[in-house]
Amino acid sequence: MELPKAELLQMYKRMVAIRAFEESLAEAVAAGTLPGFVHLGVGQEAVMVGVAAPLRPTDWISGTHREHGVMIARGADMRLMRAEIFGKVTGYCKGKGGSMHLAVYEKCAPGCNGILGPSQTINNGIALALKRRGKGDLAAVLFGDGAAHRGEFHEALNLAAVWKLPAMAICVNNQYGISGCVDDVCAVEDISARAAGYGIPGLSVDGCDVMAVYEAVSEIAKSIRAGKGPTLLELKTCRWRGHFEGDPQAYRTKEELEENRRRDPIARFAKQLLEQGMATDAELQKLRDEVERELQEAIEFTDKSPYPPEEEIFTDLSYAEGRSV
Ligand SMILES: Cc1ncc(C[n+]2csc(CCOP(=O)(O)OP(=O)(O)O)c2C)c(N)n1
Ligand SMILES: [Mg+2]
């Protein structure tokens, strides 16, 4: 698929930004300055950018506990993202969402979700609202391979299929649900094969190849906008870090981790851009430098920002108040 150079470079920059942002969070956890559970999507950048880039700004994208990157892929401001994750009042949710409930409504990204399963049923609600609005927008939801074994996965797919909802169900198969390897808990080779049980198309794609993801999502979006209902897309990828920061990963070998790094989606995309003459080394370096500067600004912005005042502890806690698609 041929895309304009500016779009390709923006995709590269966003992949680099996601990794830099996530790695800076890992450093903060290690330094003890970021408390709580943080699940990072390092290694999964092609999923986030490949899904977000071909969709319209008015399409909705939601995720689970590992999807900060999707919001960066949608163009969210890293300063407000980082401030939110650090619980600062300047964050996207005034510091009350944190990592696992981060939401960026202005980018139609209703957020992460710490409970496995409901993100798909919530997404059906968004898709139903979009269908009724009738402007051809769709709702995409990312969830893990582990979540694909939950009841909500099946219930949500069935309802979306029966009601022909404009819902794109995207299973991010990073091969693990915490410490359980997918091969030990799943009897099918491709999770996308489950789509057949609901009479909808299913497709598995290399989730480390951003262009392959882009193409698959573009095609599925066309089918959904033509009123054909949902598709189940499985993106096979790998997470480079532990399930959460601090996870000793005793359940996998060093060799496996090294093999994952060989599938590096960012290095692969850079190679494609260089080989196809779409970018020079100097252009890619410039983008990496810009990301570094923007990240430093985000760190300074967060450090200088205050925590929410105590008297606001009970405000802004309603999920739905004042919100609609
Ligand atoms: C309903 C529910 N059960 C259990 C958990 C605990 N839990 C958090 S993440 C996780 C594994 C998730 O695996 P997967 O869906 O593959 O996503 P990944 O962490 O690989 O991104 C589990 C079991 C939870 N959050 N919600
Ligand atoms: Mg997983």
Establish if 121 belongs to a structural domain: yes
Establish if 319 belongs to a structural domain: no
Question: Which of the listed residues 65, 116, 251 should we mutate to test ligand 1's pocket, taking the one with most ligand atoms within 8 A of CB?
Answer: 116
Q: pLDDT at position 35, please? A: 81
Q: pLDDT at position 325, please? A: 59
Identify the CA nearest to 245 among candidates 72, 32, 15: 32
Q: pLDDT at position 36, please? A: 81
Three-state SS for 243? coil
CA–centroid distance, 63 to ligand 1, in Å, is 12
Q: Considering only CA atoms, which residue is closest to atom 19 of ligand 1?
A: 177
Three-state SS for 241? coil
Q: What distance, in Å, lies between the first and last C-alpha atoms of the chain?
A: 31
Domain count, the chain: 1
Establish if 195 belongs to a structural domain: yes
317 neighbors 93 (Cβ within 8 angstroms): no
Neighbour-count burial of 180, counting CB atoms closer than 10 A to its CB (0-12 exposed, 13-18 middle, 19+ buried): middle
Question: In the 8-state DSSP scheme, what is residue 306?
Answer: P
Q: pLDDT at position 2, please? A: 87
Establish if 296 belongs to a structural domain: yes
Backbone phi, psi, residue 212, to 5°? -65, -40
Q: pLDDT at position 167, please? A: 98
Those residues of the chain that have pLDDT short of 70 are 319-325
| Atom of ligand 1 at shortest range from CA of 243 | 19
Q: pLDDT at position 322, please? A: 63
The whole model's pTM is what? 0.96
pLDDT, averaged across the chain: 95
Inter-CA distances, 283 with 13, 44, 49, 149, 188, Å:
10, 23, 19, 43, 43
| Atom of ligand 1 at shortest range from CA of 116 | 26
CA–centroid distance, 147 to ligand 1, in Å, is 6
Please report, as a single letter, which amino acid is at residue 150. R
Q: pLDDT at position 199, please? A: 98
Ligand nearest to the Cα of 64, by number: 1
Establish if 279 belongs to a structural domain: yes
Question: In the 8-state DSSP scheme, what is residue 111?
Answer: B
User: d(Cα 140, Cα 120) in Å, to the nearest integer?
Assistant: 9
Establish if 320 belongs to a structural domain: no
Q: pLDDT at position 316, please? A: 80
Establish if 317 belongs to a structural domain: no
CATH of the domain at 291: 3.40.50.970
Radius of gyration, alpha carbons of the chain: 19
Structure tokens at 292: 């570094």
Inter-CA distances, 74 with 107, 149, 315, Å:
7, 28, 27
Domain range for 163 is 5-308
Q: Sign of torsion, CA 186 243 72 132? A: positive
Establish if 47 belongs to a structural domain: yes
Alpha helices in 163-253 (DSSP H): 182-185, 210-225
Q: pLDDT at position 305, please? A: 98
What is the chain's percent helix, strand, coil content, to nearest 5? 50, 10, 40
Pocket of ligand 1 (CB under 6 A): 39, 65-66, 114-117, 144-147, 174, 176-178, 243
DSSP 65-101: TT-HHHHHHTT--HHHHHHHHTT-TTSTTTTSSTTTT
Identify the CA nearest to 48 among candidates 269, 312, 281, 251: 269
166 neighbors 134 (Cβ within 8 angstroms): no
Q: pLDDT at position 250, please? A: 95
Contacts of 168 (CB under 8 A, 6+ apart): 138, 139, 140, 141, 217, 220, 221, 224, 230, 231, 233
User: d(Cα 131, Cα 135) in Å, to the nearest integer?
Assistant: 8
Q: By percentage, how much of the chain surpasses pLDDT 70?
A: 98
Q: pLDDT at position 311, please? A: 92
Residue with tokens 């003459």: 277
Question: In the 8-state DSSP scheme, what is residue 307?
Answer: P
